[in-house]
Structure 1
Amino acid sequence: MRWQRFFEDLEHQLDSEWEAERAALQTEAERLRLSRLALQERLGALADDGAAVTVEFSAARILRGRATGAGADWVSLDLDLGLDTRRHGSAALVPTGAIEAVAAPEPDLLRSARPRAPRPPSTERMTFGFVLRDLVRRRTAVRVHTDSGREWVGTIDRAGADHLDLSLHDPGAPRRAEAVVGQRVVALRAVSWVQLGSAG
C-alpha cells in the first residue's frame, strides 16, 4: 500500500514538473513571437478592430481617429473623432516611419499583440507610394503635413520612389493651371500624414 502511494506521489511530481516545463516553453515561445512582432502588424490589428487611436509624432504633434486600414507601411485613420473642425469628416494616411508612438485603450492594445491570421498578400503590395499614386490618378485634393509642422494644400501630380510633386492651390479648388499658385517636391521621409476629404 505504501509503495502505491509512493508511485502516486512520483506521478504527481512528474506531472507537476512536466506542467512547469511546458509553461516555461510556452512563455519562451510567446517571448520569441513577440520579439518578431512588427509595429505594422499591431497597426493592422488595430485597423481590423476599428480601434480609436492617438498617433503621436515628433514635436508633440498628435492625430486622433479610428484606425480603418493598413498597408505595408502605412495606416489610415478616420478623423471624425477629432475636435479640429478642419479635420472633421476627413481621413488621413500615415506612413509608419513617421509615427513616434500610438495610444489606444488597453484592451485594444492587448488584442493587437495577440496572434492573428496572416493578412492578405495584397496588403504587402499596398505601400504608401502605391496609395499616393492612386491619389495622383484620382486627382484628389490633399493637405500634406510634414514633420517640421508645415502643411501644404494641393493636388499630387506625381509620386516617385521617395518624393511627391504637389501643385499648390486654394482649398476646395480643383487643380487647374490657372488655380495653381506654386509647386513643391516633398520628400516622403518628411511626411507625417496626408489628409484627404477635407483639404479645406
Structure 2
Amino acid sequence: MRWDGLFEDIEARWADLGWQGTVAEAAELTRAEWAGITLADRLRGARGAELRVHLVGGQALHVRVRTVGRTWFGVDLTGGGSAVVRTAAVAAVEGSLGAAVPEPAGVAGEIGLAAVLRGVARSRAAVTVVGLRGDVIVEGTVDRVGADHLDIARHARDEARRRGAVRGVLVVPFSAVGLVRGAEGLE
C-alpha cells in the first residue's frame, strides 16, 4: 500500500472540506452583512452616480445623488434643478448601487427631513411639492417647517413670494410628500 498517496488523498479531502466550509461560512457572513444594509447605505455608496429613480406613483427621475439621510436623499435632476426625495416615495432604483457606505460613526443625530426643509425655507426659493403618487400637491415657498409637516405659501412658481401673489397657505404632512424640488427644475 502506498501510504504517502493515501495520506495526501486524505489531506486533500480535508482541505477541500475545509475550503467548502470556509466558502459556506463566507456566504453566511455575506448574507448576514447584507441583512443590515439599508437603501440609504447603498445610496450613500452611490454619491455622485447617475441613477434612475422610479417613484411609487410611476414617475421616473434621472438624477445624480448628492447627499443622503436616513429617510431622504438630495439629488441634482438631469436637465437642471435639485430635489429632496423621501425614500418612502421610491419604488425602485436603476443604476450602480453595488457599494454600501454606512452612516458615519459618531453622527450625533441624523439630519432629518425637517432640518433639510428648514434650509429650503431659509433660501426662500420657490418649490414644488410632489406627493407619493407623483401628483403636484402645491407650488410656492416653504414658510415654516414643523416636526412632521411644512407650511407652503401658495403662489405661481415663476413669481416671488409677495403678499399680493400668495393665494393662501397649505399645510402638508411629511407623510404625504414624495419629493420637494426647486421650481427651476420643472419644465
Fold match by TM threshold 0.5: yes
Question: What does residue 136 of structure 1 align with?
Answer: 121
Question: What does residue 65 of structure 2 align with?
Answer: 67
Amino acid at match of 1:164: L
User: What is the rounded CA distance, in whole Å, between the counterparts of 1:38 and 1:124 in structure 2?
Assistant: 17
Q: 2:81 aligns with which of 80, 84, 90?
A: 90
- Runs (5+) with no aligned partner, structure 1: 81-87
Q: CA RMSD in A?
A: 2.1
After superposition, where does 1:106-145 map in structure 2 within 5 Å?
A: 108-109=96-97, 111-112=98-99, 116=101, 118-119=103-104, 121-122=106-107, 125-145=110-130
Task: Select the structure that is richer in strand.
Answer: 2
Identity %: 32
User: For the structure 1 residues 162 and 65, does the alpha-carbon distance in structure 2 shift closer, same or farther, using more than 3 Å as the test?
Assistant: same
Amino acid at match of 1:134: G
Contact residue 80 and residue 185 of structure 2 kept, 8 A: no
Question: What does residue 175 of structure 1 align with?
Answer: 161
Task: Select the structure that is richer in helix.
Answer: 1
* Aligned pairs, number: 185
The Cα shift of 1:118 comes to: 5.0
User: What is the rounded CA distance, in whole Å, between the counterparts of 1:44 and 1:89 in structure 2?
Assistant: 21
User: For the structure 1 residues 10 and 118, does the alpha-carbon distance in structure 2 shift closer, same or farther, using more than 3 Å as the test?
Assistant: farther
TM-score by length of 2: 0.88
TM-score by length of 1: 0.83
Contact residue 71 and residue 123 of structure 1 kept, 8 A: no
After superposition, where does 1:126-165 map in structure 2 within 5 Å?
A: 126-148=111-133, 149-165=135-151
The Cα shift of 1:199 comes to: 6.2
Question: What does residue 94 of structure 2 align with?
Answer: 103
- Runs (5+) with no aligned partner, structure 2: none
The DSSP-based 3-state class of the residue aligned with 2:84 is strand
